[in-house]
Structure 1
Amino acid sequence: MFLLESDELLEHTSNIVHEDTQKQKLNLDLTISKIFSFTEAGSLDFGGSEFEEAGGKYIEPVKQSTNADYGWWILKEGTYQAIFNESLHNLEDTLVAISLHEHASKAGIIANSRILTPDHSVDEISINFQVPTNGCNIKENARFATLHLIAD
């Protein structure tokens, strides 16, 4: 098994915001498109017949001036879900690894990492994360996670 290099990563990725900035040697930075807060409890059971996703509410980014191109999410302490701009395709025999971007980690964000197999739906890539007590401000299209593709 080996990590695909950036040019190969691009063959499996769509909707990249700014290729020169996002493309690294062995990974691609993922950018935030939407953020949801969790507002209702989910349900888990052993067999899955009683599974319910946690309910969420879309958070509208706020522009700091009328001529600003992008808005900011002003997040308080809590648990959220980030949806990324980028999408994946043609992932046969490829594992997907998604982890928190170094800048997000240094901003105090805590997030799960994800490993997706080819049988997972990757139409919409997301990651759940926690904002610390002091909160965190995140700009639209911020680089928030890193994507690695692992081939056989």
Structure 2
Amino acid sequence: MTDFAEYVTDIVHEPTQTDSPGLDLTVAGVYEVVEPGRIDFGGGELDPAGVTPHSSEKRDPADDYEWWTLRGGQYLVEYNESLTGAATVTLQPRTELLERGATHPTLHVDTLPRVPLSVGGAGLKLKENARVSTIVAADKE
């Protein structure tokens, strides 16, 4: 069995994030795309999309963590964790995310970009540090 933690830094709570096959990744931030980016053939006119942090709030003033209330639509999720670059990993959405009408693409990456999150029409309440993705495979470089 692969120890995925050797490829990941800034793990929030390793025992919880490794309690099932793979290693779970947690949400640090949610962003909205507010201005279009540009992609061309040669890359000379490549421009990033304009993004802004999506607002979050505590459910109770005594809470330690905030929640994002997401309406149906597209967002970008940023993780707490980073990859070491020593491997390319396969990242997929957790079942808990899928069963609540949200998803993101399965990716093969050696760094963790912001990942597009699709939220279904009923929306989603997402807590800071929620586990939304899992690393399920790693290819050493």
Verify same fold: TM over 0.5: yes
Q: Find the counterpart in structure 1 of residue 121 from structure 2.
A: 133
Is 1:79 paired with 2:74? yes
Count of matched residue pairs = 140
CA distance in 1, matches of 2:21, 2:83: 16
Percent of aligned pairs sharing the same letter: 30
Post-superposition CA distance 1:97-118 (Å, at most 9, x none): 111111011110121121125x
- TM-score of the pair, normalised by structure 1: 0.84
Q: CA deviation at 1:46?
A: 0.8
Q: Find the counterpart in structure 2 of residue 47 from structure 1.
A: 42
CA distance in 1, matches of 2:84, 2:21: 18
Q: 2:94 aligns with which of 88, 95, 101?
A: 101
CA distance in 2, matches of 1:111, 1:12: 21
Q: 1:59 aligns with which of 54, 59, 71?
A: 54
Q: Following superposition, which runs of at least 4 residues in structure 1 exceed 6 angstroms of deviation?
A: none
- TM-score of the pair, normalised by structure 2: 0.90
- Cα pair distance change 1:133/1:25, threshold 3 Å: closer
CA distance in 1, matches of 2:94, 2:20: 15
CA distance in 2, matches of 1:82, 1:129: 6
Unaligned segments of structure 2, at least 5 residues: none
